[in-house]
């Protein structure tokens, strides 16, 4: 899966430009200045030092979230409900993060991250298990699990895990020993995310298990004939995808939020879908898209305060970018011959 820089990279860039143009028309139609809005977006997202730091921090989270979806896509699974796994991983991380006292950072952070990933894996793996044994399509089961996890997490935050004597429902603060440090003000999470992308790329390129998953993703019946256990691959694919999503939630808690409130995490799993699709299910190629979306997200509140435009414009812009980047007509115009992406195709198990 080579990502040709020349023409194939033009498609996402053209998509961004077309999306921004349509966005400008809509912003103008609401009586605001699109120039001012985009100015805020560029300054807050990419130009200022503090903006760049926030962007990279957000991008790190989104890279991992995108990797979670990508891992599933490569195995022919569409983990559309990564959000639920992110939430469970985040709460699990937070719990370990404030509960375990007096251990050094280099033990505390890994333990908490692993625990978060395990909880995400549990949720994702359950969907994989349902698909492998009962033929329940993961698109429906993970969406349902999203709502179920949202309810469970809400319940736990309001009861067992609640910080008492506070007007708003939240968990206690994560201890300092479980907070990821920054290096010269730049987030460590981004580096971890890039490393993880390289590892996952290596898994799919150089390992047997990665090759098996990839083969199952491309052609299920052919892999069955070749002697690959399709059921095992499905469970494994969802398990790892869920684990990465849980890891995302843990890292976000550690690096950014510092305590758990469900609303902090909204959209992370869904942005992961956009990023994975923009990167065409390639672990390395999704990084530029994640940085771009990270910038948009970190400038989201500024766009409301400084330009008066509804922050939902970011959702709309991202949706338009995704639409133009995946629907083939822009690609045809530019004469790129990037292959279109396929997921599982069909309800069959």
Partner 1 sequence: MLKRFNIKPWQLILGVVLLGVWIYCYIANTDITNSVVASGMRFGMPLALAAMVGIMCERSGVINIGIEGTMLLSGFTGFYIASWSKNIVAGLMIAILTGILTSFVHAMMTIQWKMDQIIAGTIINILASGLTSFLYKQGSTIPNSWPIFDIPILGQIPFIGHAFFTQQGPIQYLGLILIPAIWVMMYKTRWGLRTRAVGENPGSADTAGVSVIKVRMINVMFGGAIGGFVGGFICLELVGSFSKEFTAGSGFTALALMIFGRWNPMGAFAAAILFGLAQALSTQLQIFGVTNIPNQFITMLPYVFTIVVLAVSAGKVRPPAAAGKSYEKEQA
Binding-site string for partner 1 from residue 76 to residue 115, where x marks contact by CB under 8 A and - marks none = --x-x-----------------------------------
Cα gap 153→117, rounded to integer Å: 16
Structure tokens at 262: 């469900």
Q: Per 3-state DSSP, what percentage of the chain is helix, strand, and coil (rounded to 5)?
A: 70, 0, 25
Return the number of the residue (155 or 202) whose C-beta is nearest partner 1: 155
Q: Decide: is 239 part of the binding site for partner 1 (CB under 8 A).
A: no
In this structure, what token pair is assigned to residue 112? 């908490």
C-beta neighbour count of 125 within 10 angstroms = 21
* 230 lies in the site for partner 1, by CB under 8 A: no
CA distances from 308 to 33, 37, 305, 312 (A): 9, 8, 6, 12
- Of the pair 186, 224, the CB lying nearest partner 1 is at 224
Instruction: Give residue for tokens 């990821």.
Output: 180
Q: Is 327 in the site for partner 1 (CB under 8 A)?
A: yes
Largest CA distance in the chain: 62
137 binds partner 1 (CB under 8 A): yes
- Selected range binding partner 1 among 116-124, 221-229, 297-305, 327-335, rule: CB under 8 A: 327-335
Q: Which stretch binds partner 1 (CB under 8 A): 48-56, 130-138, 202-210, 217-225?
A: 130-138
Residues of span 21-40 touching partner 1 by CB under 8 A: 26
Cα–Cα distance for residue pair 310/312, rounded to 1 Å: 5
Binding site for partner 1 (CB under 8 A): 26, 78, 80, 130, 133-137, 139-141, 143-148, 151-152, 154-155, 158-159, 270, 273-274, 277, 310, 312-313, 315-320, 322-323, 326-329, 340-349
């Amino acid at each position: 899966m080579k990502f040709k820089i020349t023409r194939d990279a033009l498609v996402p860039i053209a998509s961004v430009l077309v999306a921004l143009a349509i966005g400008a028309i809509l912003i103008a139609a609401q009586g605001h200045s699109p120039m001012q809005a985009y100015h805020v977006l560029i300054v807050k997202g990419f130009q200022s030092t503090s903006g760049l730091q926030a962007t990279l921090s957000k991008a790190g989270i989104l890279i991992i979230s995108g990797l979670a979806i990508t891992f599933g896509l490569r195995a022919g699974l569409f983990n559309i409900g990564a959000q639920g796994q992110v939430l469970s991983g985040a709460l699990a991380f937070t719990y370990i993060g404030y509960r375990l006292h007096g251990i050094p950072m280099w033990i505390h952070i890994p333990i908490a991250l692993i625990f978060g990933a395990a909880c995400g894996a549990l949720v994702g793996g359950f969907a994989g298990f349902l698909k492998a044994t009962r033929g329940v399509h993961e698109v429906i089961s993970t969406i349902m699990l999203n709502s179920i996890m949202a309810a469970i997490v809400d319940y736990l935050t309001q009861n067992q895990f609640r910080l008492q004597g506070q007007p708003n429902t939240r968990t206690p603060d994560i201890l300092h020993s479980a907070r990821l440090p920054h290096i010269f003000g730049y987030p460590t999470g981004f580096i971890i995310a890039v490393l993880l992308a390289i590892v996952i790329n290596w898994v799919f390129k150089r390992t047997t298990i990665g090759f098996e998953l990839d083969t199952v993703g491309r052609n299920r019946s052919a892999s069955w004939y070749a002697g690959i256990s399709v059921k095992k691959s499905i469970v494994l694919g969802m398990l790892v995808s869920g684990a990465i999503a849980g890891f995302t939630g843990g890292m976000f808690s550690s690096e950014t939020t510092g305590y758990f409130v469900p609303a902090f995490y909204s959209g992370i799993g869904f942005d992961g879908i956009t990023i994975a699709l923009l990167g065409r299910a390639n672990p390395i190629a999704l990084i530029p898209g994640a940085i771009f979306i990270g910038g948009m997200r970190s400038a989201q509140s500024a766009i409301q305060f400084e330009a008066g435009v509804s922050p939902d414009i970011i959702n709309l812009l991202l949706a338009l970018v995704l639409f133009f980047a995946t629907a083939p007509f822009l690609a045809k115009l530019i004469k790129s011959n990037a292959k279109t992406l396929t997921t599982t195709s069909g309800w069959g198990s």
